[in-house]
Amino acid sequence: MDHKQEEGLLSPKEHFRRSYDSRDSSDLDSDIDATEYLQSDPLTAPKGSYNPAYQTQPRNRWLRQPCCCCAGRSRKCVWTCLGILALVFIALGGGGFFAYKKFAAPKDGLSPPWYPTPKGGTARNWADSYRKASEMVSKMTLPEKVNVTTGTGWEMGPAVGNTGPAVNVGFPSLALQDGPLGIRFTDNATAFPAGITVGATWNKDLMYQWGNAHAIEARKKGINVILGPCIGPLGRMPAGGRNWEGFGADPYLQGIAAAESIKGIQDEGIMATIKHLVANEQEHFRQSWEWGLPNAISSNIDDRTMHELYMWPFGDSVKAGVASVMCSYNQINNSYACGNSKILNGILKDEMGFQGFVMSDWLAQRGGVSSALAGLDMTMPGDGLFWADGKSLWGPELTKSVMNGSVPLERLNDMVTRIVAAWYQFGQDDTERFDPDGPNFSSWTNDEYGVFAPGSPSEQEKVIVNEYENVMGNHSAIARQIAAEGTVLLKNEHILPIDRHGNTDMKLRKKHEGVVRIGIFGEDAGPGPNGPNGCKDRACNEGTLASGWGSGAVEFPYLVTPIDALGSGWDKDKVNVSSWLTNSPPFSEQPEILGNQDICIVFANADSGEGFVSWESVKGDRPDLFLQKGGDDLIVSVANGCGGGSGETIVIIHTVGPVIMERWIDLPGVKAVLLANLPGQESGNALADVLFGAVNPSGHLPWTIGKNLDDYGDGAKIMYLPNNVVPQQNFAEGLYVDYRYFDKYDIKPRFEFGFGLSYTTFNFTIPRIKEQKPKSAYPAARPRDFAMPPEYDPSIPDEDEVLFPPNFRKLEKFVYPYLDTVDEIIMDPYPYPEGYDVKQPLSPAGGDEGGNPDLWETYVTVSTNVTNTGARDGNVVTQLYLAYPPNASKTEGVDFPVKVLRGFEKTFLKQNEMATVTFNVTRRDLSYWDVKAQNWKMVTDGTYGFVVGESSRLLHAMAEW
Ligand code: BGC
């Protein structure tokens, strides 16, 4: 960045480096005072009052520190705040006591305490990186270690998350950026299709390519860590606001898609973050204060469901070597996810053998020492309980708590080592590939010049912050392919594809004076009034829908709308196209608009997004499963009026999730339905590919489309109103979400999970089974760790080491690791959570990255021959479902789903071509979580059934093992 120096400006990184490097500080101004960096001590307040037996972190942290805003201020302020809080409690907590009695003490086994945090550095795949990391970490000062674990604060650096560097040992500030659809808050980068569209491709290679292309762009923009992929929410509730960021409502599909995209990201050297751990299934009440309540919702989940459903895809992610895991905003069994020792220490780090680092979602950290002890390794964005206040729960507080012994030094060492090891693991020490100057764009301005830390009110010089580097390469091709392959053909009565001359398979094609008249209807076919980036974070539904909203959304470099691609794609001599890009065309006054068409293509959509912003009645989560903006009415009038009742209507849906189609799906005029999910920037082109037949559709539903919301069960309903001062959401349906629920209660869906038509047909042979290893109930004994975690000097450093270096230039609100004076180190005993002193036995399900290696061994292979029996070449998605032995419920004493997805493969077949598809079924695939043994258990009595087919209900043949 020489040009910056030529202009006599200090580059942002240079400012940053100099601020931290005491050797350089003498030549910098020292006249900027820090305001208040300190807050009331979050580490020493008395324990909360609820049943401590299951307490994995002090609950209701804010109760222990009742008025953070009053920190260090007058008693009057404290009493006023307490008064306000009391009123809030009386108002919100009517019945709270009874709810407390009912919910506050989770049943045994829900979230028992799990301490201490297992250290990283035990797995074979990471041994080398840990060796390098330990050399570096052993040279770090304590503030440097703290710096690496703590974000610098909201808008305190170019990315949405920035850590502090350890300058003297050469460890850079890390730049963390959303994900998962592309690079958020930047220019000249691809707006890829959403995760749900990727899931709908059922194409492992595209899952990989999606991650890989994203990572190439991230690296070129100077990002170290992508905040994606997203597998939580899993999709328990079809109206959940963020389901579209993930891959579909099934743990197996989510797990494979996550693992493939993680490999794609990390093969490029970028660290992937799998998020959100765990059970952040709805937006309402997901986060403290965002919904007016002081505490986030608690997702109350039993141990077996946690393992088989919600944690399952995290297991795949860890096995794939993911660098980072983001813990979520919500509570799990009444303990915040980022302070839940059972989830982080127990399941993630011990059982699954996770070797990377756990970062908090933005402000999801709710306690200082407690979260460190529970297994959190990095706090984001660095601010504490409230946005952008600079009052970190770590930073100087972590320094103090290590100095006074509340957080063991070895825990801090482990946190830092995990982060540094991940950096080495993906080769980010290679300065040729990773510019230590960090991002070449700013998340906070589109101007070329700006300040480094706009979140700080301190005066700063303006420097070049945006270099507008175009990193898109040829990624439009991959974006287009995913969008096309992720488009699901739901209905086709001989009309699709339509060729460019207007010909279709329809036998009775009527032509008007030799010309086919095609009308395109609906706002969703065209551009929004303010362009694709008209609303901040895409939080509105205007024009064609290509993405949901929130942190998962990106700036579109362009958006090819359906009308762009379909308006001009036809042979003009043979097709006459007209369009009404509104949802309320003047049909009643001018019925001829519809009457004068042979074919009508009608567009409608449904949008949702992240809960920090709403659009109309969609407050993150959708209020219902219907199409929005009058979409259902529009489709009904088009289908009934097209060609005066004899026209043929093609319905195109863009959506974040399932929509109820009952009002129109069976109308005689509706000849075809394409569900194009959220296609990203190449929307129109991809749709044209499918409509015109250049691409034979091969997308399959990543969730079930029911006939109404009730059909999904009570557990599928969003809690729109809090039922308690800490909203309590009991996942009482257990394993039975989406198709598992429909199967169990024998409910006929409109379109089942996995459904998707093609322009050709396929035939499957009866599966062949080959035993690879004999059945046995439990996995082999947990193996010994491959390596020993690094050991460090255990002595607490001199107090002087943690003080601000002389003449240090501070930016207000910026989170630093230093203290002003040693008097801040208060030696009070910390009230450790109940159970903290009881060392937990190691899980028999653990032993390596991804858990006990035996879980990943293939026990049986299932093969089938698939033949393309139709008249076109095309991709086939072969799906494998497993049924547990019929007597399993009796022999094991627990209930089992009718079937579960355990394999899928996409294969391209020319006409009449045959291919053999083979699935490797692992021990984990065959097992259920035995809560008593705390281990995965295979059913050894009776025979497993394996069914293959094209959806969860279109199953052609079964074999047994
Ligand atoms: C979201 C995360 C995101 C983070 C940073 C949070 O609100 O839940 O998914 O990565 O913000 O933008």
Per-residue pLDDT tens over the stretch 479-517:
999 999 999 999 999 999 998 888 886 654 566 677 999
Among 319, 501, 129, which Cα is nearest to 925's? Answer: 319
Q: What atom in ligand 1 is closest to the CA of residue 612?
A: 7
- 238: buried, middle or exposed (CB in 10 Å: 19+, 13-18, 0-12)? buried
What is the distance between the alpha carbons of residues 238 and 806, in angstroms, rounded to a whole number? 56
| Least confident window among 265-279, 347-361, 633-647, 828-842 | 828-842
Global pTM reads 0.91
Helix, strand, coil percent content, the chain, rounded in steps of 5? 30, 15, 55
β-strands 900-909, 874-883 pairing: antiparallel
User: In this predicted structure, what is the pLDDT of residue 255?
Assistant: 98
Tell me the three state secondary structure of residue 163.
strand
Whether 104 shows a pLDDT value over 90: the answer reads no
What is the distance between the alpha carbons of residues 577 and 509, in angstroms, rounded to a whole number? 16
Cβ of 275 less than 6 Å from ligand 1: yes
Whether 98 shows a pLDDT value over 70: the answer reads no
Cβ of 227 less than 6 Å from ligand 1: yes
User: In this predicted structure, what is the pLDDT of residue 406?
Assistant: 97
**Residue 51 pLDDT class (50, 70, 90 cuts):** very low
CA 89 to chain centre: 33
Going from the Cα of 247 to the center of ligand 1, the distance in angstroms, rounded, reads: 17
What are 875-902's pLDDT values in tens digits? 999 999 999 999 999 999 999 999 999 9
Q: State the average pLDDT for the chain.
A: 89
User: In this predicted structure, what is the pLDDT of residue 416?
Assistant: 98
Segment 404-412 shows an average pLDDT of 97
- Between 6 and 440, whose confidence is greater? 440
> Helix crossing, 396-403 with 409-425: angle to 10°?
130
What is the distance between the alpha carbons of residues 371 and 379, in angstroms, rounded to a whole number? 9
User: In this predicted structure, what is the pLDDT of residue 502?
Assistant: 86
Q: What atom in ligand 1 is closest to the CA of residue 286?
A: 8
Please tell me the residue having the least CA distance from ligand 1 atom 7. Answer: 362
User: In this predicted structure, what is the pLDDT of residue 511?
Assistant: 63
What is the distance between the alpha carbons of residues 444 and 654, in angstroms, rounded to a whole number? 30
Please tell me the residue having the least CA distance from ligand 1 atom 4. Answer: 362
User: In this predicted structure, what is the pLDDT of residue 631?
Assistant: 97
Whether 369 shows a pLDDT value over 60: the answer reads yes
Segment 743-754 shows an average pLDDT of 98
- Between 706 and 62, whose confidence is greater? 706
Cβ of 178 less than 6 Å from ligand 1: yes
What are 157-208's pLDDT values in tens digits? 999 999 999 999 999 999 999 989 999 999 999 999 999 999 999 999 999 9
What is the distance between the alpha carbons of residues 939 and 942, in angstroms, rounded to a whole number? 8
What is the distance between the alpha carbons of residues 543 and 192, in angstroms, rounded to a whole number? 18
User: In this predicted structure, what is the pLDDT of residue 591?
Assistant: 84
User: In this predicted structure, what is the pLDDT of residue 191?
Assistant: 98
User: In this predicted structure, what is the pLDDT of residue 660?
Assistant: 98
What are 762-775's pLDDT values in tens digits? 999 999 999 999 99
Going from the Cα of 815 to the center of ligand 1, the distance in angstroms, rounded, reads: 19
Percent of the chain with pLDDT over 70: 88
- Between 814 and 179, whose confidence is greater? 814
β-strands 225-226, 175-177 pairing: parallel
756 forms beta bridges with none
> What is the 3-state secondary structure of 391-416?
CCCCCHHHHHHHHCCCCCHHHHHHHH
- 805: buried, middle or exposed (CB in 10 Å: 19+, 13-18, 0-12)? middle
User: In this predicted structure, what is the pLDDT of residue 510?
Assistant: 60
Catalytic residues: 361
**Residue 833 pLDDT class (50, 70, 90 cuts):** confident
> What is the 3-state secondary structure of 726-761?
CCEEECCCCCCCCHHHHHHCCCCCCECCCCCECCCC
Segment 756-764 shows an average pLDDT of 97
**Residue 956 pLDDT class (50, 70, 90 cuts):** confident
Going from the Cα of 2 to the center of ligand 1, the distance in angstroms, rounded, reads: 33
Whether 87 shows a pLDDT value over 50: the answer reads no
Going from the Cα of 331 to the center of ligand 1, the distance in angstroms, rounded, reads: 16
What amino acid occupies position 191? A
- 447: buried, middle or exposed (CB in 10 Å: 19+, 13-18, 0-12)? exposed
